[in-house]
Structures are given as C-alpha cells and as structure tokens.
C-alpha cells in the first residue's frame, strides 16, 4: 500500500514478500518517462516492511512508482502535489 497518495514527495510503501529478495524502486515521470529516483532494498521472506521515501524537487504531476523484484514488477500511480 502506498500512503499518502497524493503527497508532496514524502510517502511510504508497505510491502511483504514471499522469499528473500532484492527489490529496486524507481520513480518515473508519466510526462517524459524520465527516472527521477532509484533505490535498492533487501527484503526478507514474510517480513512486513515499510519503505519510506523523501524525494525533494519533484514538480507537481503524476509519476509511477515501479517496484521490481527478480520475478515480478508492480507499478503504482503516485500523485505529487
């Protein structure tokens, strides 16, 4: 779950995985498909984790938060006010 949404660049993502994985997070603009933020995180099987993001300088608009694991990719709409 992504919260709050919309936000000003500070938001959290609650995530649980079924196996130990390294996950890559990217924030991409819908306007020009440019990546504005990227980070990697190692998650342990079954552990509920909250990833906090504080991305300054994003202009108002709609972005995508792409969560990439070794077997799956999830894309969430992110609104910046």
pTM of the model: 0.92
Residue 56 DSSP label = T
Query: What sign has the CA pseudo-torsion 35, 33, 58, 75?
Result: negative
Interval 26-78: pLDDT, tens: 999 999 999 999 999 999 998 889 999 999 899 999 999 999 999 999 999 99
The Cα–Cα gap between 8 and 54 comes to 9
Residue 9 confidence (pLDDT) above 90: yes
Q: What share of the chain is helix, strand, coil (3-state, %, to 5)?
A: 0, 65, 35
Distance CA 77, CA 20 (A): 25
Structural domain spans, the chain: 2-80
Tell me the backbone φ, ψ of residue 27, rounded to 5 degrees.
-110, 120
Q: Which tokens in the block code for residue 67? A: 């969560």
CATH 1.20.1420.20 corresponds to the domain 2-80: no
């Amino acid at each position: 779950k992504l919260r709050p949404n919309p936000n000003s660049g500070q938001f959290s993502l609650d995530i649980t995985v079924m196996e130990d994985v390294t996950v890559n997070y990217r924030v991409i603009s819908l306007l020009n498909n440019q990546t504005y933020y990227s980070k990697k995180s190692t998650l342990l099987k079954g552990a509920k984790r909250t990833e906090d993001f504080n991305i300054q300088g994003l202009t108002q608009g709609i972005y995508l938060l792409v969560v990439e694991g070794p077997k799956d990719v999830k894309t969430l709409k992110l609104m910046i006010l």
